[in-house]
A = this chain, B = another copy of it.
Amino acid sequence: MPGYSEDKPAVLRRLRRIEGQVRGLQRMVEDDTYCIDVLTQISAATRALESVALELLGEHLSHCVREAVSRGGDEADAKVHEAREAIKRLVRS
């Protein structure tokens, strides 16, 4: 089970809200909304996505990575390595 599974309804609610923000962006562009206002809304959606990513990554460390490390062995190495790569992608995106 992925680490986020107990918060699944909350994660889904946040993603649905982000989907709504992206649909709102399309309406803004269709209505020729002033660029700066579109940009402000994009910054909000980006930040909301980033926030979901941080939540999922945190839960992943607290559950999946932690359990693999407790069990030890090669899987522990693999999980820690994988988490390091995911953090890099997140910091650089």
Contacts and interface: CB of A to CB of B under 8 A. Distances in A.
A35 B4 contact: yes
Nearest to A85: B36
B61 A83 contact: yes
Nearest to A4: B35
A29 B11 contact: yes
B35 A93 contact: no
Residue of A16, A42, A72, A88 most packed against chain B (CB within 10 A): A42
Interface string A52-93: 111011111110111001101000100010111011111111
Given A15-B25, A18-B22, A54-B87, 6 more contacts: A4-B35, A15-B26, A19-B26, A54-B88, A54-B91, A58-B87
